[in-house]
Structures are given as C-alpha cells and as structure tokens.
Chain A
Amino acid sequence: MANSSGGPWARLLLVDAAPACGPNGGVISTRSIAGALPLLLLFVAPLVASLAFMGEDALSGPAWVALLAHPQLAGGLALSFFTATVSSLLALVLALLIAAAHHERGALPRGLSAMLAVPHLAFALGLGFLIMPSGLVARVIAVLFTGWASPPEWRSSHDPYGLALIVALVAKETVFLVFTLAGALARADLRSSFAAQGAAAAALGHGGFSIWLRLFLPQLYLHLRWPVVVVFVYAATVVDMSLVIGPTQPPTFAVVVWSDINSPHVADAARGGAGAVFLALLCGTALAAFWAGLRALAPALKRFATRGPSARAFPRWIGLAKWAALRLLFLVVIVTLVLLSLAALWPFPQLWPDQLDTTAWGAVARQPGPLLTSLGLALGTSVLGLIALVLWLELTPRQADRLVVALSVAMLGLPALLVGLGQYRLFLRLGLTGTGLGLFLAHLMPVTAYMAIMLIGPYRAVDPRWHEVSASLGAGERRFLARVKWPLLRAPLASAAAVGFAVSFAQFISAQLVAAGRFSTLPMEAVTLASGVNRPLTAAFGLLLMAPPLLVFLLAGLAARPRWSGA
C-alpha cells in the first residue's frame, strides 16, 4: 500500500517544478493514472469484485427451496417491511416538518451533527435500556402514577411488533433526513431562489403552509429521493439494531438471514445467501411499487398544487416542538447509558441508583483491544480514504467521477447484508478473511463510498478562476492547494472525514464476517454483550461507541467554522 500511494504523492509535490505541459500533453495522462490508482486499488476494484460475488447463492436451487420453506420467512418479512415502511414514512414527515420550521426561522436545527454522530447501535442500546421493564420510563411511571413495586410485565424492548425498533429507526433516520434537507436548504442558490419564489407566492395570496406544500416540497423531492431510498433499505435490512432492540419470535427477516449466514452448516449458510438476495429483490420491488404509486398519484398531486392559494400560516411550532422532543430523547438515552454504566445497585422503582461504582469501566479498561481496533480502523480508513479521494479529484478528469459515484451509490443503496456477503466471499477466495488487511479493506470501502458522495460535488464545484488568479500571483500547485483550495474546502473536507470516521466506527456486518473471529471491534462486542446480562458493561460499551464519533464531529465542526461570520 505504501508503494501505491507514495508515487502519486511524490508527483503531486513535484507538480510545481514540472514543465508547463499542455493539457493534452503526455505527462497529464500519466499523472491521471497515478492519481486514480489508490482509489482504483482500494475502493473500485474490491467493490466491483464484491458486487460480482454478491449473487452467488441466487444460482443455487436447493438454497431457494430451503429458503421458501423457512418457518420464519413470512413472519420475518412482514416485520421487516412493516418496521421499514412505518419508520421511513414517519421519519420523512418529521424531517420535513422539522427542516421547514427551522428554515422558516432562519436557523439550523441545534445539536444536529451531534445527534447524527450517535451510532444507530449505541442509540438502540440506550433506548432499549430506557424502555425496558426496569428502565427509567417504567420507574418514572411507577413513582409518579402507579406505585408499582416491581417492574411491569412489559415487552417493551424486543416487542413482537417491532415498535421499539421503529422508534429507534425513526429517531436516527429523522436526524439523517433533517441533515440532508438542511444541507440542501443551506445552499446559496436554493436559498435565494426559494426566498424569491416564496415572496412571489405570498404576493399571490399563499400562506407559509401552502408555499411549503405546493412550491418547495415538489422541488425538494429531487434532493430527497436517494436519501429516502437509503433510509428504507437500511431499515428493512438492518441487523445490529434488530438484534439489540428488535422482535425475536420471529425476528426481522434480516436477522433470520444473518443467523443463517453465520451458521456452521453449509446448507444454512447457502440459504442465508439466497435470503440476502431475496431481501434485496423485495426492497427493490417495494421501492418500485412506491415509485409507481407516486406516478399514479401525480395528476392528483398536480391538481392539489394548482388548486389555488390558501393563506394558512406554516405551523412552525410543530416542527420546533418535534425537534425539541427528539433532542430530549437523545439526551435521555445518553443519560440512561451513563447511569447504567455506573450503577452497581439500582433497585426498582428508584429513580437514582443506590450505589455508583466504576466496575464496568474498570472492565473496559482491562480489555482495551476492541476500542483500540475500532479507533485504529476509523482513523486509518478515514485518512487513507480521504487521501485517495483527493488524489483522484486532483489528478483524474471529472468524467471518470461517474464510476466512483455509481459504485458509491451501489454500496450505500444495496443492503449491507448483501454487499457484506459478497465481500466476505471475495475475501475468502483471496485469503483475506481473518487478516488485518481484510478487516481494514472491509471498513475502507463503505467509508470511501460515503466520503465520495459528500466530497465529489463540492470539490469539483471549486471555481477554476481561483486557480487562475493564484497562478497569476505566482502561486504554484502546492501553494494553491495548501493556501487557497483546501482552506476554501475545509467544511466539506472536515465533514467528509468526520462522517468517514463515524461510518467506520459503526461497521458491523462486513466487519463481523471478515474478522472471522480473529478480531473484535466495538460494535461486535456491543452486540454480543447486549444479549447477555451484564448491563453496566453493555452500557459502557454503548457509550464507548458513541464518544469518539461525537468528539470527531465536534472537532470537524470547529475546523469547518468560517473565519468570519457572513463570509
């Protein structure tokens, strides 16, 4: 790896001294290849190969027969699509209300990036502890209203309908969609265009609510399509959250597939492979049906949009209140984890533990392996992924970006279960399972995919005249990059790095498969612990999962802050 990245770096640093060659000169093409190489080797090639191995089991007849006879097939699928549909729609509506309310008020939702940084798994752990029969919610009800002396017989976490899973998904996905919407709404072009359109519509008698529904929402649809697809596919195929907080008899279909894949029996593993393909096909079908439904509704939506003005004001308080409630939920979840990790003795229904101690944290400190592995992977992959992407963007013609974007979208839009399985099959053949390199690559691929989606747009959008004016002032390539281009891009660079770090920190499926029992990362430990009885230790691991991404997002926020406000 050192060799493949050493060459291009050296070239980048030597650019200043290189003779001015015409853009059609031979030197450029050598540089382009050198610039593309790290990303091709570390991301494109392994991902293409993984995708090729993904559908291997789709060809096995017996695996399909076994799958269709699986006793948990119907129940698991019903749960998966029920939880995914309800949570995605709820998250979408909430996110629209929240983003619109904040846009109307001219402010970004407070705490957004911190909430985005909380890993799904950590949130699910905390939420599970919050709503379990002996959790804080039941204690508050007992103390204030019912006087229960022992925990109620709830099935609040792991409930048979997946309601707890839905709550966890809605909370996390609402934050993600608000982030997407706030990003789109903060773009200068959209902001000024919406302001002008809003003024024009208001002059025609439309109130705030009508302007949002009839004017802004149809335009935001374009920005929301892919994020909603990602949210739905994630919800329908998530494994780690389902294991921690989802239903068990039967579990969601993703968990059924997951147990099959991990089975030592070849036939079961093949059934799991077919199941992963089946789940992906059903996701595609569901999305196609949803899209067809929208098309069928289009005339009615058009009629609604042109029905004429309504003066109703935008119910801003609803969105603001929802956001406040969501922030409170995140806070309570974190507080629950903190208290539980320190609680030695906490009899029901007391609101505060009898004894606090650091036994769990002591245990964490005695086995720092998973934390260090996760930290090393997250730091290494986000830095290397960023370097590979920047080299690509600096030295490769933009026409080639389409390949990277398409692969990244495939990586993020396809179920992680399916991509992870393809990757595992590939790594098995290459002898990379159970190796550090394999584990690193398994983390690097999703990290790079997320960073590519975030970075390519803003990086390519840098006005080429910045380069021209720098050159006219005598600044060579290195000085231009260090003093002008990268400082101008520091917000997208810092966010991409932070998201990359968080994505690596949260990897579960591919990490577990490729690690083959030889390595342990934090998410693996946390999922294992969640099925046990040591709640303080589980809570401590939940917090460990949360703290580094939070810190990195905080640092990225500081690094991305413009030097002057209003610039």
Chain B
Amino acid sequence: MSLVLEQVGITLEGDALIAPFSLSIAPGEIVTLMGPSGSGKSSLLSGLAGLLAPPLAWQGRVLLNGEDLGLVAPARRRLGRLFQDDLLFPHLSVGENLLFGMARGGRALRLARMREALAETGLAGFENRPPHTLSGGQRQRVALMRSLLAQPLAMLLDEPFNKLDAALRSQIRSSTFDLLQARGTPSLLVTHDLADVPPGGRVLKIENGKVKDA
C-alpha cells in the first residue's frame, strides 16, 4: 500500500494557497506535515479526501496503490481520517459507531469484530454506552478504532492528539502509530506540535504556501 501525491496544490480564487508539490508515502510510513494554523494543512487533507469546499480549488493527482483517486467518490476512496475532535456520532452508541464504517457481512461476524476491537482498545463491555459518557482519551481511542475497522488503505491524521492532556497524549500517540505501522498503512499527519512527530519519521514544513523538507 502506498500513497502518492503528484503536483498537488490548493488555490484560492486563482491564487496558490499551497503551491504544487509531490510526495510519496511508503506502506507503514507516517509522514508529518507541519505548519502554523491557517497555512492550509487541514484543507490539504480535505482535498485528498475529495471534499474541498469552494472557494478553495484542488489541483494535482492522488494515487493510492497506483489507482488515480481523481474520479473516485469521497466515500469510495478508503482514506481514513482522524480529527482534533473525536467526532463520534452522538446519537449512536459506542458499538454502533464502530459498526458504522465496517464492511457489510454476517451480523454475528461484524458484532464479534466490533467487540474484539473494543477489547483491543481496553474498552470491553462499552458497546452500549453513549459516547458522551466516555473520557476524552477513551473517545479518541474509539475514534481511531472506528477508522481502522473501515479498513482504510491510507490514513489522514489532522492533529488528532491536540485536545488530549499531556500524559494521555504520548500514550495514545504511540499506540496509534504502532497500530498504523503494524498494518502497513501509509499515513499523513498534520500538526503544529513537534512532539507529535513519530520517532525517525519524515517531516515536511509548509512555509509561505510552499511545502519543503524540514
């Protein structure tokens, strides 16, 4: 699995917000893109997902395992996403949130996979709980698991550790990276915090609309 960006960029009413750049992310690799807020990091992830909203416009090609995503509907791109907020659906239970993105199939099998995932997250028995009764760290873990159960071919991480307190943060950060690397999922992480960079990982920077190696 690999994620390749070819001359991708974002324009705002004709002006370049992010100048075209290219990037190749290998299976299991987590590339970090750093930049101040307002630099277009989150918009870049929305563009990769095919959901850039006007007046922003997208340019360039995105290849996932060699397939050009340009003509693929957002829901069929299989790009997992994690946000600053966990965005667990408040009207669905924890278990239903996990089932939401899981591929169709036998009900018993899907339920078993959901429970297994909860146990793996240290949240066994939480399936019927409403999301708002979980702590911030628990919710972010459920959000990660929900994303992974949809079997994404690549992950886009939008400062997902930002709202966690310091102790929890490093713990969830390392468990997230471990899971992604173990599954060989190519991932792009955007952040403004150096501490979020995985050990030995490649780091890019956005400066004045240009993406460069840090």
Contact = CB atoms under 8 A, between A and B. Distances in A.
The reply to whether chain A is a binding partner of chain B is: yes
Interface of A: 16, 18-20, 22-24, 397, 464-477, 479-480, 483-484, 487-488, 562-564, 566-567
B130 interface: yes
Nearest to A469: B87
Interface stretch (B18-26, B72-80, B174-182, B189-197): B72-80
Interface in B65-118: 70-81, 83, 85, 87, 89-91, 100-101, 103
Nearest to A564: B130
Interface size class of B (residues with CB under 8 A): 35 or more
Interface in B40-64: 46, 49-54, 57-58
A563 B93 CA distance: 10
Contact of B101 (A466, A467, A475): A475
A473 B101 contact: yes
Contacts of A23: 52-54, 57
B49 A567 contact: no
Given A476-B73, A563-B91, 9 more contacts: A20-B70, A22-B52, A464-B53, A471-B75, A471-B77, A472-B49, A479-B75, A564-B132, A567-B90
Contact of A563 (B70, B130, B146): B130
B204 interface: no
A562 B75 CA distance: 28
Contacts, number: 91
Nearest to A17: B73
Contacts of B49: 468, 471-472
A480 B81 CA distance: 16
B152 interface: yes
B59 to A, nearest CB: 10
A18 B51 CA distance: 14
A227 B156 CA distance: 46
A564 B90 CA distance: 9
B90 A473 contact: no
Nearest to B130: A564
Given A475-B101, A476-B73, A476-B75, A22 B51 contact: no
A563 B143 CA distance: 20
16 contacts: A16-B73, A22-B52, A23-B57, A466-B87, A468-B46, A468-B49, A469-B87, A471-B74, A471-B75, A472-B81, A472-B101, A473-B80, A473-B100, A476-B73, A477-B75, A564-B130
B164 interface: no
Most buried by B among A18, A20, A562: A20
A564 B131 CA distance: 10
Contact of B91 (A397, A465, A487): A487
Contact of B74 (A20, A397, A483, A566): A20
B85 A20 contact: no
Interface in B123-142: 130-132
Contacts of A566: 132
A17 to B, nearest CB: 8
A472 B130 CA distance: 22
A35 to B, nearest CB: 16
A471 B51 CA distance: 9
A465 B83 contact: yes
Given A562-B91, A567-B130, A16 B57 contact: no
B150 interface: yes
The winner among B75, B85, B101, B147 for most chain A CB atoms within 10 A is B75
Contacts of A471: 49-51, 74-75, 77
